[in-house]
Structure 1
Amino acid sequence: MSGDTEELWAERAKRFFKAELKRADVTYDNLADRLSEMGLSETKASIANKVSRGTFSAAFLLASLKAIGCQNVRVEDL
């Protein structure tokens, strides 16, 4: 882990997020709808932009994981 850069962690977060969406069979459109039901305003485009940049907040990640029904996250797998 020594020498890991912020860019590497951003890439890990992006890969993890995309894998969880795929595992839950949720598209960006579906996610936007689910987040809206939770009172959060996101669009397919805003989600795609955040994911492509890999610079989304922890709040966005956690809300998204809750929205797709993710119950566990294994940090050691990142």
Structure 2
Amino acid sequence: MADQSEWETKAANLLKAELKRKGVTYAQLVEKLADIGISEKEANVRNKLSRGKFSAAFLIQCLQAISTSELRL
């Protein structure tokens, strides 16, 4: 069974892959998050994704911001 850090890595990789698939940079993600009322700095987003330490709410906010309605796990 995967430990916590492995799950965090999987979540981060899932979001990174979706950003790549949509062609969205971290800077663009910050702009898109701002469009839906979420204030983040690019450095904070970069750190969250590199560490894999972010909430499910942040994941959903990012997916909403980049107009992702379906995920393949």
Please report the TM-score for the alignment, with normalisation by the length of structure 1.
Answer: 0.89
| CA deviation profile, 1:16-69 (whole Å, cap 9, x unmatched) | 110000001000100000111111101111100101110011111000001001
Counterparts of 1:1-78 in structure 2, within 5 Å, are 3-74=1-72, 77=73
| 1:71, distance to aligned residue in structure 2 (A) | 1.1
Counterpart Cα distance in 2 of 1:28 and 1:9: 22
Work out the number of aligned pairs and report it: 73
Structure 2: stretches of 5+ with no match in the other structure: none
Listed as ranges, the gaps of 5+ residues in structure 1 are: none
Runs of 4+ more than 2 Å apart = none
SS of corresponding position for 1:23: helix
Instruction: Give the share of equivalent positions with the same residue, in percent.
Output: 44
What amino acid is aligned across from residue 52 of structure 1 in structure 2? S
The residue matched to 2:71 in structure 1 has which SS?
A: coil
TM-score normalised by structure 2 residue count: 0.94
